[in-house]
Amino acid sequence: MTKKRQILVIGHNVNGCTPEHEKIAYETGMEIAKSGSVLISGGLGGVMQAACHGSHDAGGIAVGIIPQDDPSLANEFCDIVIPTGMGLTRDFLNALSADGIIIIGGGSGTLSEICAAYMHKKPMVAIRNLGGTAEQYIDQYLDHRKNIRILGADSPKEAVKLILEKITA
């Protein structure tokens, strides 16, 4: 049996998440499910919930790695909940659990996950024109080490296609 690809979707939590972010995250979750990959998220609201909802509606599997120790705090679209009790430290678990990451806007928590993924050379794709912390890093490296360039995509479908190309390369 071949291991399923695991794609982490990160971005704005409830604060800062716009209807456009939710629409893009939902479509991204659907595309991940259609690709036969497992969606991983932080398991809470905003972009995380919308991506899990999209995966759910497309018959996929959504894993929520939440910072709390109470599994009931995960959004209702998580098929599998991992309650870490680790607080924000769980950002490293999210990044390390993924084969690749798709970024949809985001704030400082998203930036923390981006940095964790960058240090471990995880492929990343950010969807353009959604603002947030990722916008300034699209098609660039985070620093002089040039570990991994954060690629830009114009749509959820393109983002999933690009991340799958990087994962299987």
Strands laid side by side in the 80-83 sheet: 80-83, 62-66, 38-41, 6-11, 100-104, 124-127, 151-153
pTM: 0.97
CB-based contact 111:122 (threshold 8 Å): no
Q: What is the dihedral of CA 35, 51, 164, 66, to 10 degrees?
A: -120
Kindly list the domain boundaries of the chain, sorted by start residue: 6-168
Window from 41-50, 56-65, 126-135, 149-158 with minimum mean pLDDT = 126-135
Which pLDDT belongs to residue 169?
A: 67
Q: Tokens 């490296």 belong to which residue?
A: 141
Given a cut of 80, whether residue 136 has pLDDT beyond it is yes
CB-based contact 151:126 (threshold 8 Å): yes
pLDDT band at 97 (very low <50, low <70, confident <90, very high): very high
Mean pLDDT of the chain: 96
Which pLDDT belongs to residue 87?
A: 94
High-pLDDT (> 90) share of the chain, %: 93
Given a cut of 80, whether residue 129 has pLDDT beyond it is yes
For the domain made up of 6-168, the CATH class stated in words is alpha beta
